[in-house]
Amino acid sequence: MIIAQISDTHIALDTPDTGQRLQDFQSVIADINALDPAPDVIVHTGDIVHNGREDEYAAAASILEQAHAPVYVMVGNKDDRPNLRAAFSGSGYLDEGSQFIDYAVEDFSLRLIMLDTLSPGDNRGDFCAERISRLTDMIDAEGSRPIVVFTHHPPFEVTVGPDPIHYRDLEAMSDLREALRQSGRVAGVFCGHVHRATSGDIEGIPATVMSAVSTTLRKGEYPPHMTARPVYQVHRFAPDGQFVTETRIAGKPSQIVA
C-alpha cells in the first residue's frame, strides 16, 4: 500500500504569501498525481487552512479535487471543525454524529485511523477521555489488519525545534501513547504540526513528522534551489510490516510567486 501524506498547507487568502501557499499546495497534488505507481490514498494531516474560514476551505477543497487518488482530511490546530466538516461533508467519510473529526478508513489492506487532537484556541494538542474511548472503539472494530494512525500533533518528544512537547499536558499525550501501544497492531504513526521533518517512537511504534507543505512557513534550513519547492512524503508499506518513507520535492525552481 502506498500513502501520500501532505500537511500544513495553511491556506490563507489575505496574506502577502497567499499565492505561494496556493502554488505549493497545487504543486504537491500535481506531483502526487504523476507518481508511478500511483498512491492508493492521500492523507492531509491538518492545518489545511490558516484561519478556519469558509472561503479558505473552498480554495483548499478546489485544489484537493484535482487529486486522482482518494483524499482524507483531518484537523490541525488552525482548522475549524464546523467549517472543515461543511467543506468536506460530501466526501462521506466524516462521522456526523460526533463533535470530533476522527474516523477509520476500511477500504485498504491497512486500516487508516485519523485522530482529532484539536484543542480550540490553543496551538497545542489535546486528547481527552472521550477521544481515548473513540480511538479504542475504532481499534477494536476490526482485529486482523495492521493499522496506521494519522495525527496532527506528534505524541512523542520532538527533539528538533524549540518545543519538545506539543500537547497541553503530558498525561493526555501519555494516555494516547498507551492506547496506541495496547492495540499491538499499529504499524506506524504519521504526524504534522512541527513544520519540520523529524521522527520518534511511541512505545516501540515508529512515528514521523513531515515538514509543512507551505514553503513560507516550514522551519529548518533548505538549499537555495528548494526555496519555493514544497516537500511531502510517500509512505510505502513493505512486506516485512514496516513503512519505507520517501521525502519528495515538488514543483520547479522557477515557481516563486510574487
Give the residue with the Cβ less far from Fe ion, 85 or 193.
Answer: 193
How many residues belong to the site for Fe ion (CB under 5 A)? 2
Give the residue with the Cβ less far from Fe ion, 153 or 229.
Answer: 153
User: Using CB under 5 A, which of 3, 4, 8, 59 touches Fe ion?
Assistant: 8
CB of 161 vs Fe ion, minimal distance in Å: 12
CB of 5 vs Fe ion, minimal distance in Å: 14
CB of 76 vs Fe ion, minimal distance in Å: 6
CB of 10 vs Fe ion, minimal distance in Å: 6
Residue linked to cell 491538518: 46
Contacts of 11 (CB under 8 A, 6+ apart): 21, 22, 25, 48, 49, 50, 56, 57, 59, 60
Secondary structure (DSSP) of 42-78: EEE-S--BSS--HHHHHHHHHHHTT-SS-EEE---TT
- Chain positions 13 to 52 lying near Fe ion, rule: CB under 5 A, are 47
The DSSP call for residue 188 is E
- Chain positions 82 to 141 lying near Fe ion, rule: CB under 5 A, are none
Strands 231-237, 186-191: pairing is unpaired
| CA–CA distance, 242 with 95 (Å, rounded to integer) | 29
Residue of closest CB approach to Fe ion:
47
Listed ranges 8-16, 56-64, 177-185, 218-226: which one lies at the site for Fe ion (CB under 5 A): 8-16
CB of 38 vs Fe ion, minimal distance in Å: 27
Residues belonging to the chain: 258
| CA–CA distance, 183 with 170 (Å, rounded to integer) | 20
- Residues in touch with Fe ion (CB under 5 A): 8, 47
